[in-house]
């Protein structure tokens, strides 16, 4: 089974935007860069622009009852974000933060609406993207509720690989972004200690390895677990 080119995307990854969407935002929008750590959209803000990620990664964050920010989702290159909020025009319940240096195309609400009116394909793609994010949220709840801890981590690895930004070296995949154990724990609904323990186990078994600022996962682990997921669902 071809894990990475499968149409079966996991909970944090959506298929990339089409060339038509990219060309539209490139024509109608403008380019803007943000440094790592910058808050792009603030909680409670009414969004006036949609975004297309050219390079970098962003995190959707919410505040827990103690007021500490937690990551709910990450979005990587070739994906749009902010489409639903820019159409809804209601205050957003999350903040959007750059977790790597980022470069976007930014397009106004008026231009997005114009594109939806004039091109049915753009219209359908934007609404399909909104639906896909709703489905992703449901899948995340499902995995957080019913799947064991180790499987959650492997599915997170597969999600990152499905962004198609990875590098492959023989029996290893280099993940496109190396998050901290705390960030991963927030994303997959585990404690940081549990994530650390699973990493240590896989490292001892030769399933993952590190080099400076990079994380490699064995293709054996990825393929075996993905086949099991496919058979179970």
**CATH code of the domain in which 225 resides:** 1.10.10.10
Reported confidence tier of residue 131, pLDDT bands at 50, 70, 90: low
| CA–CA distance, 48 with 25 (Å, rounded to integer) | 14
Q: Categorize the per-residue pLDDT at 136 as very low, low, confident or very high, splitting at 50, 70 and 90.
A: low
- Looking at the chain, the number of H-run helices and the number of E-run strands are 8, 12
pLDDT, mean of residues 29-42: 95
Q: Angle 47-144-52 (CA atoms, 0-180°, nearest 5)?
A: 30
Residue 159 lies in a domain: yes
Angle of helix 192-204 relative to helix 181-188, nearest 10 degrees?
110
Higher-scoring residue by pLDDT: 59, 67: 59
Q: Are 122 and 150 part of one and the same domain?
A: no
| Cα gap 85→98, rounded to integer Å | 18
Residue 159 to residues 3, 74, 151: CA-CA distances in angstroms? 10, 10, 12
For residue 32, the tally of other CB atoms under 10 A from its CB is 14
pLDDT for position 46 = 95
Q: How far, in Å, are 12, 72, 146, 157 from residue 141 at the CA level? A: 11, 11, 9, 17
* pLDDT, greater one: 28 or 159: 28
Instruction: Give yes or no: residues 31 and 75 share one domain.
Output: yes
Does the pLDDT of residue 134 top 80, yes or no? no
CB neighbours of residue 78 within 10 Å: 18
Query: Averaged over 204-210, what is the pLDDT?
Result: 90
Looking at the fold, whether 191 and 227 belong to one and the same domain comes out as yes
Q: State both tokens at 98.
A: 């750059």
* Residue that terminates a domain, selected from 137, 159, 180: 137
Closest C-alpha to 159, from 76, 41, 90:
76
Counting the structural domains of the chain, the total is 2
Does 153 lie in the same domain as 90? no
pLDDT tens figures, 85-104: 898 899 998 899 999 999 99
Of 116-125, 164-173, 196-205, 220-229, the range with the highest mean pLDDT is 196-205
Lowest mean pLDDT among 122-126, 139-143, 175-179: 139-143
**∠ CA(195), CA(196), CA(202), 5° rounding?**
90
Instruction: Enumerate the β-bridge partners of residue 32.
Output: 104
Q: What is the mean predicted confidence (pLDDT) over 47-67?
A: 86
Q: Which CATH number do you get for residue 58?
A: 2.60.120.10
- 199, 108: one domain: no
Q: Helix 219-232 vs helix 149-161: angle between axes, to the nearest 10 degrees?
A: 110
Q: Specify the pTM.
A: 0.82
Tally of CA atoms within 13 A in the half-sphere of 178 that contains its CB: 14
Banded pLDDT at 9 (limits 50, 70, 90): very low
Length of the chain: 233
| 205-211: average pLDDT | 88
Of 106, 137, 168, which marks where a domain is finished? Answer: 137
Average pLDDT over residues 20-41: 93
- More reliable by pLDDT, 124 or 100: 100
Quick one: the chain helix, strand, coil %, rounded to 5? Answer: 45, 25, 35
What's the pLDDT at 230?
Answer: 54
Domain holding 61, by residue range, is: 19-137
In a domain, 11, yes or no: no
Residue listed under structure tokens 């114009």:
114
pLDDT of residue 27: 93
61, 170: one domain = no
Whole-angstrom Cα distance, residue 120 to residue 177? 34
pLDDT of 150: 81
User: Across all residues in the chain, what is the average pLDDT?
Assistant: 82
Instruction: Examine residue 164 and state whether it is found in any structural domain, yes or no.
Output: yes
Mean pLDDT of the region 196-216: 89
Per the model's pLDDT, the better-predicted residue between 12 and 163 turns out to be: 163
One domain, residues 170 and 73: no
């Amino acid at each position: 089974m071809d894990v990475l080119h499968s149409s079966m995307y996991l909970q944090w990854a959506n298929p990339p935007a089409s060339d038509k969407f990219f060309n539209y935002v490139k024509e109608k929008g403008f380019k803007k860069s943000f440094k790592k750590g910058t808050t792009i959209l603030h909680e409670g803000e009414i969004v006036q622009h949609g975004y297309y990620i050219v390079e970098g990664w962003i995190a959707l964050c919410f505040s827990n009852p103690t007021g500490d920010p937690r990551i709910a989702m990450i979005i990587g290159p070739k994906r749009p974000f902010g489409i639903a909020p820019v159409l809804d025009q209601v205050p957003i319940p999350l903040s959007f933060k750059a977790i790597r240096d980022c470069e976007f195309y930014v397009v106004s609400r008026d231009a997005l609406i114009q594109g939806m009116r004039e091109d049915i394909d753009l219209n359908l793609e934007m609404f399909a993207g909104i639906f896909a994010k709703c489905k992703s949220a449901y899948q995340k709840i499902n995995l957080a509720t019913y799947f064991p801890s180790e499987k959650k981590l492997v599915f997170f690895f597969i999600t990152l690989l499905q962004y198609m930004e990875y590098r492959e070296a023989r029996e290893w995949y280099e993940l496109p972004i190396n998050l901290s154990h705390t960030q991963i724990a927030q994303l997959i609904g585990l404690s940081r200690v549990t994530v650390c323990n699973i990493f240590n186990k896989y490292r001892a078994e030769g399933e993952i390895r590190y080099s400076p600022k990079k994380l490699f996962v064995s293709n054996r682990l990825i393929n075996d677990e993905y086949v099991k997921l496919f058979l179970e669902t």
